Amino acid sequence: MTGGQVTLTALLPEHAADAARLHILGQPGTFLTSLGPEVLTVLYRMLPASAHAFGFAAVDPQRPAALLGFVSATTSTGALFAELGTRRIRAFLPPLVRRFARNPALAGRAAQTALYPFMHGAPGDDGPSPAELLSIMVEPAQRGRGIGALLVAALQAECRRRAIAALDVTVDAANAGAQRFYGTHGFTFVRTFTLYGREMCLYRARLD
C-alpha cells in the first residue's frame, strides 16, 4: 500500500451517492452507467440494506465520508434481483421512469438485465451457488496503489467467513485491466457470454 492512509469499513447506505459517482467513472459506456446517478444511487442505497448483499468501502480515516473505492457482492444474484424487482421496486420506479422517458431504448436493455441471473452459471454447477462480485471501483486518481487489492482481499475473507466456496465476477471482455486485476487475485476464466450485445467474461475464484 503506497501513499496516504486507507481504512476499510462496511459499505453503508450513506456511501450510495459516492458509490454511484465512482461506478459511472469506472464503467463508462455500460448499461448500468447509462441509467445515470439517480438510479445508481438508489441501487447502492438498497444493496447494503439487503440480506443478500454486502460490501466494503475504502476511506481515508481523515475524511471517512468520501469513498476512495468500494466493492459490492451478493450471496445470490437471483434472490437479490427478486428483492430489487419486488419489495424494493417502489424506490427504483420514479428515477427509472424518468430515465426511460428521456431514453426509451434503455427499457429493452433493462428487460435483459432481469434475465442476467440465468445467464452466468458455470458448466457443471450443482453445489451451493457461488457469491458474485457485483462491482469494484476505485477513485481514478487513487488507482494502482493497492486499494483494489485490499477490497478484494476483504471480500474474499468475508466469503470464507460465510463458508462460501467460490466467488464469481462478470467482466466486459474489452476491460483488459480489470481481467488482469482479477487474474492476480485468484480468479480464473470460466467462459464468455453475451449481455447487452457485448461479450462478457465470467471469472471464478475458488475459496475452499
Ligand X SMILES: CC(C)(COP(=O)(O)OP(=O)(O)OC[C@H]1O[C@@H](n2cnc3c(N)ncnc32)[C@H](O)[C@@H]1OP(=O)(O)O)[C@@H](O)C(=O)NCCC(=O)NCCS
| Residue numbers at the binding site for ligand X (CB under 6 A) | 26-27, 135-138, 143-149, 171, 175, 177-178, 180-181
Of 76 and 135, the one with the shorter C-beta distance to ligand X is: 135
CB 58 within 8 A of CB 6: yes
How many of the other CB atoms lie within 10 Å of CB of 201?
20
Of 100 and 196, the one with the shorter C-beta distance to ligand X is: 196
Q: How far is the CB of 40 from ligand X (least distance, A)?
A: 13
Beta-strand relationship, 53-60 and 7-10: antiparallel
Of 88 and 185, the one with the shorter C-beta distance to ligand X is: 185
Q: How far is the CB of 22 from ligand X (least distance, A)?
A: 7
- Residue written as grid cell 424506490: 91
- CA gap 53, 155 in Å, rounded: 11
Residue whose Cβ sits closest to ligand X: 148
Q: How far is the CB of 1 from ligand X (least distance, A)?
A: 9
- How close are the terminal C-alpha atoms of the chain, in Å? 26
Helix (H, G, I), strand (E, B) or coil at 12: coil
Task: Write down the H helix ranges in 62-146.
Answer: 77-85, 89-102, 105-115
Q: How far is the CB of 208 from ligand X (least distance, A)?
A: 24
Of 109 and 143, the one with the shorter C-beta distance to ligand X is: 143
Range 89-95, long-range pairs (CB < 8 A, 24+ positions): 91/42, 91/45, 91/46, 92/39, 92/42, 92/43, 92/46, 95/36, 95/38, 95/39, 95/42
Helix (H, G, I), strand (E, B) or coil at 23: helix
Of 119 and 149, the one with the shorter C-beta distance to ligand X is: 149
Of 100 and 171, the one with the shorter C-beta distance to ligand X is: 171
Nearest 5°: the CA angle 30, 6, 159 is: 65
Q: How far is the CB of 98 from ligand X (least distance, A)?
A: 25
Cell of 141: 486518481
Q: How far is the CB of 154 from ligand X (least distance, A)?
A: 12
